[in-house]
Amino acid sequence: MEPTRATSSTSGSARPPVVVLYDDRPDGLTGLKLAALSLRSTSPGLDVRAIVPGAGETFRAWASANGVTLVEPPRTLHATGWDVKPTVLLHLLDTGADPVLWFDTDIVATRDIRALLAPHAPEVLIAAEEYFWGYHQGSPARTTTLGLDVGRVLPRSLNSGVLRVSSVHRPLLEAWARVLASPAYTAAQDAPIPRRPIAYLGDQEVLGGLLGSRTHADVPLVQLRRGVDIAQCFGPSGFTVAERWAARDRLPALVHAMGRKPWNRPEAGRGGPGRRLATWWEQVHLDLTPYVEAARPHLDGLDEPIDWVGPLTRSGRLLARIGSPALRELPLVLVDTSQRGMRRALGIRQVPAEAAPSAARGQPR
């Protein structure tokens, strides 16, 4: 995990960050609680803060009882979802927190995360690698689609589910916020995913494009390794066969429930045969995802129903007999790998690399 650009101060131990959790979805609070509980358990002493717009008294009481500091949303917050990341991070820096770690609310920690962060000085930006099937890995398209000159090409796309920044990253965060507020980005979010230019697929694509630009190419960057430091569980094959085999004895330090969340299961028995099959498939996946196993030690602290915890399907109960949480889902992984590989080879539902001519003009630098 060496920085992509070395600096004279990348050695030594960085001080622990302030961790910020954010969610503005009512059904996202289960994940936020699990993220916080896992951090309080595995990384004791970390300053964990949460921003929950419109938080009710029940959640406020839970946060107080579990050592989570509830922070009011910044007045500058005009976006929703993950597009708030640069605004939230800048707000925390403004209040004196430095460094700050953004931690997605669908991630749980299985051991102390400070071991992943401490070797890198504060000027090193820390993110994660995108899951294996992410679009256009190792391509400058994210940068060129923003209309920027290429300064470097990241060999693996960036995942911003975990993101450590410090005050030296203000120019990058401000540029990120400007692009996320731009008309081109806003318009792209209204289009189906396969029709979005790669740079406007989501917030992390914009950040990856900026980091690849000549303007920000000197920002030292470390990406947590997928399958080693973080399990990117996007469907069965997001956490690949090879990654699962390497993690058969111990899951990575971070487990990320990308896509549908286990506490938001699809309703079974609805629709035609194809829809029922897809629902069954997703139910089995949610029975067996390593995220549930990683979250299991913290379920009692949720103080809410946990009827979503499986296995709830007959197939899930059968495969759950496999001892290793990383290997229980292998039959699904093999099938999912085959169909994803075929879709990639045939160009089915893939995100275009290039933008329409009007989309790349006038982007903030």
pLDDT tens digit string along 131-161? 999 999 999 999 999 999 999 999 999 999 9
Rama region for 347: left / alpha / beta (φ>0; ψ in -120 to 50; rest): left
Residue-wise pLDDT tens digits, 107-124: 999 999 999 999 999 999
User: Using the 8-state DSSP alphabet, how is residue 135 labeled?
Assistant: T
Q: Between the CA atoms of 40, 283, 131 and 355, what dihedral angle is there, to the nearest 10 degrees?
A: -120
**Cα gap 142→298, rounded to integer Å:** 38
pLDDT at residue 150, as a whole number? 98
pTM of the model: 0.93
HSE value, Cβ hemisphere, 13 Å, CA-based, for 78:
7
Query: How is the chain split into domains, by residue range?
Result: 105-356
- The per-residue pLDDT for range 244-301, each reduced to its tens digit, is 999 999 999 999 999 999 999 998 767 788 899 999 999 999 999 999 999 999 999 9
- The 10 Å Cβ neighbour count of residue 300 is 9
Question: Rounded to a whole number, what is the distance in angstroms from the first to the last CA of the chain?
Answer: 28
Beta 69-70 vs 47-51: how paired, if at all?
A: parallel
Task: Say yes or no to pLDDT of 357 above 70.
Answer: no
Sign of CA dihedral 67, 70, 71, 73: positive
**Average confidence (pLDDT) over 168-193:** 95
User: How many CB atoms within 10 Å of residue 191?
Assistant: 11
CA dist 27 → 166, 262, 365 (Å):
30, 11, 35
AA letter at 176: W
